Amino acid sequence: MFRLGCDIGGTFTDFVLLDGETGDLQFFKVLTTLSDPSEAVDRGIAAIDERCPAFLGATEHVIHGTTLVINALIERTGARTALVTSKGFRDILAMRREARYDTYDITARYPVALVPRDLCFEVTERVYADGRVVQPLDADEGRRVLDALVEREIESLAVCFLHSYANPANERAFADLAARHCPDITLSLSSDVLPEIQEYPRTSTTVVNAFVKPLVGRYLRRLDDRLKNRSFERGLYLMLSGGGVISAETAGRYPVRLVESGPVGGALAAAHIGELADLPELLSFDMGGTTAKACHIRQGRLPITTEFEVDRVHRFKKGSGTPIAAPTVNVIEIGAGGGSIAQIDDMALVRVGPQSAGADPGPICYGLGGDRPTVTDADLVLGYLNPSFFLGGEMGLRQREAVEGIRRAVAEPLNLAIEQAAWGIHEVVNENMAGAARYHIAEHGGDAGAATMVAFGGAGPVHAVEVARKLGISSVLVPVGAGVFSALGFVVAPISYEVSRTHVAPLESMTEGVLEDMFRELEAEGMAVVRAAREGAAVVCSRALDMCYRGQGSNIRFDIGGGPGDRVPFDGIAGRFAEEYRARYGYAYDDLEPQLRTLRVIVSAASEQPSLDLKFAGRRGEARAARTGTRPAYAPDEAAFVEHDVYRLDLLGPDAGFEGPAIVEAPDSTLVIGPGAGAVTDAGGWIMVTVR
């Protein structure tokens, strides 16, 4: 049986087809159709069918990742949404956390709320933090609010009552009322979406879910119809932000969990590769057509956060975006991709991004109507890209038009030579990405010098060696299929789902029996979701806790193990928390009381993951058979074009070794190895670059 991974990006839609019997991988790319991304999926399947006739009938799973949710949030193209909350809390979205993200900036801006104040409604009800219902829902008032929603043509509704994580009775009563009174309005209850403490993140996350729910629902129905038209009746799964995949039905109910659906695939594949190659510390570096993403990975474990933000006003300032408290792999995004547009700012400096030419009209060199120079245009002018071998020769690039675009927009205004202007664009975007990655690693207490970079994405290998050099990283691993590597993460991802529940209590007041009972309830809830996605599957449960010291407002999340033999014993939880706290902040308190905040369970379907035989033998053989000639490309140390040896990736045998300056070409990506770096391949053709 086959598995098909499909990753919709801002410029290209990538496909990986895995043969479950042989482990063979095949890679495909098509341009993304922004007006209806499911059309690109259909086109890609048609292209795969030409090479592998009737493959879809032998495909067990189609695993899909999409930028639909994040794009809808950034572009504000979701549903007309309203919020219903407890009386007296109508302004929660406007008040946010009642704190500035920059203490001394009295003009600080924030993203525009997804729900304006005139669409925020209140109802009389009250639940205390201990779960006691002291004021049942006023049904008459609830009906008046629902009448107002119908009158204002609301499509989707977020319901977030105070302390509903402790007792959802009043939210459920309102949902029953809405189902009878206005069944056409889509509902999102905070007690379903995020039954966790902290009012503002819970409300924000529920509003995001409501904002995109109708849009995602329509899209999944279109995609399902296209697959059925091609006689595919098996499982359609969606990649979750937390690193697992789940059924389309569950994803449609909780689309907020898809916000980082695409970028997470690459980080997941990198973690998988790190385990196979025994690489304890990794930096995944994914540069596509629209954005670049980085993720710091230790011991094969993806960093999970519930303090994620989208649509930040200031890229590096926490608190300047819209919070999403659903479990998310901690990936930092940079507005820098192959399609990022270069321009001159008011200070007469070269600025690259965050605006992108995307797939439509795309970079100038695509010849599809783009008229502003991009990073891809600069890379072509610098000689790094082969205009006759882009996408394996399926798409020719127009070098003359790229040169003219850079001349007009950058070189002439700054009185620079064409190659200087192109290198300036290339260098600015490299520094932007290195700066963001440096910040990301430092934030997690990591050491860039100890990490191996895994470079992928259509544009990632072009820039990876120079970015690694800036970060002090000495090893760069470039996989076969680098241009579609995120889609590879989809086919190795487990079917899994995380469930959580807040329970605030001092650790010393808990007993092992009470804690075990609460975990068992969560495990049963998660098992129901996973087994609905894969009937009869054996499941594996792992547990995690959010804890803090009493009086603190921020939590630390840490794993406490899976099965009985792997689990941290109850009397070891305090020590585990102190260990995690010390790793994060450099110290721990002996005189403060540890407090439980939230219990978490990750339930995964047990399945055989495909194994990629990744092993470097430690010897260097010949690479001459793969050498196709030389090409002049820009070398910054020489400030001139120098000859680079050019190799074909598919012709490089095992243990092939070569030195830079060199360029390695593949249909989906291009690796640029400058002077002062060498490379060697493994048995499968993966490349390890040593940066000196």
Per-residue confidence (pLDDT) for residue 611, from 0 to 100: 60
Q: What is the mean pLDDT of residues 417-430?
A: 94
- Beta-bridge partners for 188: 158
- Beta-bridge partners for 630: 645
pLDDT over threshold 80, residue 621? no
Burial 220-235 (b: 16+ CB within 10 A, else e): bebbbebbeeeebeeb
pLDDT over threshold 90, residue 185? yes
pLDDT over threshold 90, residue 88? yes
pLDDT over threshold 80, residue 411? yes
Among 97-101, 150-154, 224-228, where is mean pLDDT lowest? 97-101
Distance separating alpha carbons of residues 510 and 407, to the nearest angstrom: 69
Q: What amino acid is encoded at 394 in this protein?
A: E
Q: What is the mean pLDDT of residues 522-538?
A: 88
* pLDDT tens digits, one per residue of 539-589: 889 999 999 999 888 889 998 987 666 788 899 999 999 998 988 888 899
Per-residue confidence (pLDDT) for residue 302, from 0 to 100: 85
Residue 124, burial from CB neighbour count under 10 angstroms (0-12, 13-18, 19+): middle
Beta-carbon-side half-sphere exposure of residue 9 (alpha carbons within 13 Å): 36
Q: What amino acid is encoded at 305 in this protein?
A: T
Distance separating alpha carbons of residues 60 and 654, to the nearest angstrom: 32
Closest Cα partner for 365 from 347, 333, 391, 344? 391
Beta-carbon-side half-sphere exposure of residue 394 (alpha carbons within 13 Å): 10
CA distances from 632 to 102, 258, 645, 662 (A): 47, 43, 9, 10
Q: What is the mean pLDDT of residues 211-221?
A: 94
Rg (CA), the chain: 26
Average pLDDT, whole number, for the chain? Answer: 88
Q: Where residue 217 falls among pLDDT bands split at 50, 70, 90?
A: very high
Q: Where residue 272 falls among pLDDT bands split at 50, 70, 90?
A: confident
Q: What is the mean pLDDT of residues 73-99?
A: 91
Distance separating alpha carbons of residues 523 and 122, to the nearest angstrom: 34
Q: What is the mean pLDDT of residues 386-403?
A: 88
Q: Where residue 454 falls among pLDDT bands split at 50, 70, 90?
A: very high
pLDDT over threshold 80, residue 456? yes
Q: Where residue 608 falls among pLDDT bands split at 50, 70, 90?
A: low
**Higher pLDDT residue, 347 or 508?**
508
The tokens for 168 are 């959802």
Q: What is the mean pLDDT of residues 664-690?
A: 89
**Higher pLDDT residue, 355 or 265?**
265
CB 374 within 8 A of CB 359: no
pLDDT over threshold 80, residue 43? yes
The tokens for 310 are 């989208």
Distance separating alpha carbons of residues 167 and 389, to the nearest angstrom: 60
Per-residue confidence (pLDDT) for residue 425, from 0 to 100: 94
CA–CA–CA angle 460, 463, 467 (5° rounding): 110
The tokens for 80 are 């007309």
Per-residue confidence (pLDDT) for residue 27, from 0 to 100: 85
**Higher pLDDT residue, 288 or 151?**
151
Per-residue confidence (pLDDT) for residue 25, from 0 to 100: 80
Distance separating alpha carbons of residues 676 and 659, to the nearest angstrom: 8
Distance separating alpha carbons of residues 186 and 210, to the nearest angstrom: 7
Per-residue confidence (pLDDT) for residue 616, from 0 to 100: 58
The tokens for 626 are 């793969």
Question: Which residue stretches of 397-495 are H helix?
Answer: 399-406, 412-414, 418-443, 460-471, 485-492
CB 195 within 8 A of CB 168: yes
Q: Where residue 52 falls among pLDDT bands split at 50, 70, 90?
A: confident
Q: Where residue 518 falls among pLDDT bands split at 50, 70, 90?
A: very high
* pLDDT tens digits, one per residue of 133-182: 999 999 999 999 999 999 999 999 999 999 999 999 999 999 999 999 99
Per-residue confidence (pLDDT) for residue 615, from 0 to 100: 59
**Higher pLDDT residue, 488 or 521?**
521
Distance separating alpha carbons of residues 64 and 339, to the nearest angstrom: 23
Q: What is the mean pLDDT of residues 223-243?
A: 88
Residue 634, burial from CB neighbour count under 10 angstroms (0-12, 13-18, 19+): buried
pLDDT over threshold 60, residue 55? yes
CB 198 within 8 A of CB 548: no
- Classify 549 as helix, strand or coil: strand
Closest Cα partner for 534 from 11, 63, 8, 2? 63
Closest Cα partner for 690 from 649, 658, 645? 658
Per-residue confidence (pLDDT) for residue 614, from 0 to 100: 59
Length of the chain: 692
Q: What is the mean pLDDT of residues 353-379?
A: 85
CB 205 within 8 A of CB 259: no
Per-residue confidence (pLDDT) for residue 97, from 0 to 100: 85
Pairing mode, strands 304-305 and 328-329: antiparallel
pLDDT over threshold 60, residue 617? no
Per-residue confidence (pLDDT) for residue 353, from 0 to 100: 76
Per-residue confidence (pLDDT) for residue 624, from 0 to 100: 85
Per-residue confidence (pLDDT) for residue 619, from 0 to 100: 58
Q: Quick check: bond before 327 cis, omega within 30?
A: no
Distance separating alpha carbons of residues 476 and 600, to the nearest angstrom: 35
Contacts 24+ apart (CB under 8 A), 349-355: 350/410, 350/414, 350/421, 350/424, 350/425, 350/428, 351/428, 352/425, 352/428, 352/429, 352/432, 353/429, 353/432
**Higher pLDDT residue, 669 or 171?**
171
The tokens for 402 are 């790229």
Per-residue confidence (pLDDT) for residue 362, from 0 to 100: 85
The tokens for 425 are 């664009």
Strands of the sheet with 475-478, listed across from one edge: 332-334, 292-298, 281-287, 452-456, 475-478, 687-691, 677-681, 657-659
Distance separating alpha carbons of residues 8 and 44, to the nearest angstrom: 11
Q: What is the mean pLDDT of residues 82-102?
A: 91
Per-residue confidence (pLDDT) for residue 597, from 0 to 100: 94
